[in-house]
Structure 1
């Protein structure tokens, strides 16, 4: 090793700043960000929290999921940390092979989307405005499916890995946004569109179970074709 250089694994981790911790706590809403848990992070009748800040890419190259080109500062950035209860923190760090980087990022995004569902889903004045909101999300999902989605006779390991990555990072949160928008603006839907939206909701739940929770026993309700034109024209 050349003089004056230092192995990344020998570098000490950068502690999270107070501002970063404050932001992470806000993003969590006080709940574990594992979708299989979501425990409240305060003990009953006590002002003691059990929140633990879990690095997605390890705080050092020697840590869980630590093999990455991220710098020490980037590893301490809020985007690389998820808030978990002690049980889930131990689980993801003791078996990192079962909890890859992309999965933990999808947990974090899904949790933030759930908070947005409670506080930030828009209510539209008309069908046109609603369509303009969901159409780009549908288009992005469709492009990913066409490019990387399962195709009989053409599912190489590389294509499968890219499909899983984009499904978790993009399709899952997009689906949640679409579902929330349709639910909050259900009065703008025709009777036929409501049935389509309900089928889409089932598709989303089963897709999430597979790609977020890793439950491959979930059903495989296909994406309803009617979603491609939902609220496209005035009823």
Structure 2
């Protein structure tokens, strides 16, 4: 997802924010292309490209000569697209204006809710039923490929690359889905669960930073998430 446009190249924080907003999908709301895809050989292919709304150069699509290099590389001037949509918007700039592309970013949260199948539920049990498969999938992935798994001892595998791929392709997108479901049904949460949810949100943001920019540290997975929307008795 790198951009090679000199001073218009976005910062690490901007790349993290774009990835977090996309949740692993093209930010064109009419496109449902996943940006990270596993092949049958266990390899990972990514289609994510950071597109400039106003061009990085004075002669590019939708150019605005009044913008500084820093403004051209800012979050507000970037959108994360699949390779096809990036080519499309740059080859037909008259059809894809800056206002339309900015609207894409504003519409993305609503589009993701539909893409993830997010809906309002009438009970806590329904919310739990929606998030439990995602939590379980993440646990299985972590136990199978995580830093404490047996996979790290397999000298014939590229363990760090496999774990990073699983994190970007599975765990982080699942976390974003979980957040979307619970955010849609916040009225069913207790005060304690609201704090747990925000800790989980920070945990997800820190995972993105760690696996996109090699940042150190961050919020650990809050164990209370295992009981989110679970009623005893």
TM-score band (shorter)?
0.5 to 0.7
- The answer as to 2:146 corresponding to 1:144 is no
Residues 34-54 of structure 1 deviation map (CA, whole Å, 9 limit, x = unaligned):
58667489849xxxxxx9972
Instruction: State the number of aligned residues.
Output: 153
Cα distance, 1:229 vs structure 2: 1.0
Cα distance, 1:28 vs structure 2: 6.9
Residues 123-166 of structure 1 deviation map (CA, whole Å, 9 limit, x = unaligned):
11110000000000000000000111012997355332221121
**Mapping of 1:72-111 within 5 angstroms?**
82-84=84-86
- The answer as to 2:165 corresponding to 1:169 is no
User: Partner of 2:228 in structure 1?
Assistant: 230
**Mapping of 1:23-34 within 5 angstroms?**
26-27=30-31, 34=48
**Cα 1:152/1:140, change in 2 over 3 Å:** closer
**Mapping of 1:18-97 within 5 angstroms?**
26-27=30-31, 34=48, 39=53, 43=62, 54=83, 82-84=84-86
TM normalised by structure 2 equals 0.53
Do the aligned residues in 2 keep the contact of 1:207 with 1:220 (CA within 8 Å)?
yes
TM normalised by structure 1 equals 0.52
Residues 174-218 of structure 1 deviation map (CA, whole Å, 9 limit, x = unaligned):
01100111111111111111100000000011112223xx22226
Q: Which has the higher contact order (CA 8 A, sep 6+)?
A: 2
Q: Which consecutive unaligned segments of at least 5 residues does structure 1 have?
A: 1-23, 45-50, 55-81, 89-111
SS in 2 for 1:196: helix
The CA RMSD measured in Å over matched residues stands at 4.1
CA distance, structure 1, for counterparts of residue 54 and residue 135 of structure 2: 33
Do the aligned residues in 2 keep the contact of 1:209 with 1:215 (CA within 8 Å)?
yes
Do the aligned residues in 1 keep the contact of 2:144 with 2:151 (CA within 8 Å)?
no
SS in 1 for 2:213: coil
**Cα 1:210/1:114, change in 2 over 3 Å:** farther
- Higher CA-based Rg: 1
User: Partner of 1:135 in structure 2?
Assistant: 132
CA distance, structure 1, for counterparts of residue 217 and residue 180 of structure 2: 21
CA distance, structure 2, for counterparts of residue 52 and residue 198 of structure 1: 28
User: Partner of 2:67 in structure 1?
Assistant: none
Cα distance, 1:118 vs structure 2: 6.8
User: Partner of 2:98 in structure 1?
Assistant: none
Residues 59-118 of structure 1 deviation map (CA, whole Å, 9 limit, x = unaligned):
xxxxxxxxxxxxxxxxxxxxxxx53369x9xxxxxxxxxxxxxxxxxxxxxxx8873237
CA distance, structure 2, for counterparts of residue 206 and residue 137 of structure 1: 19
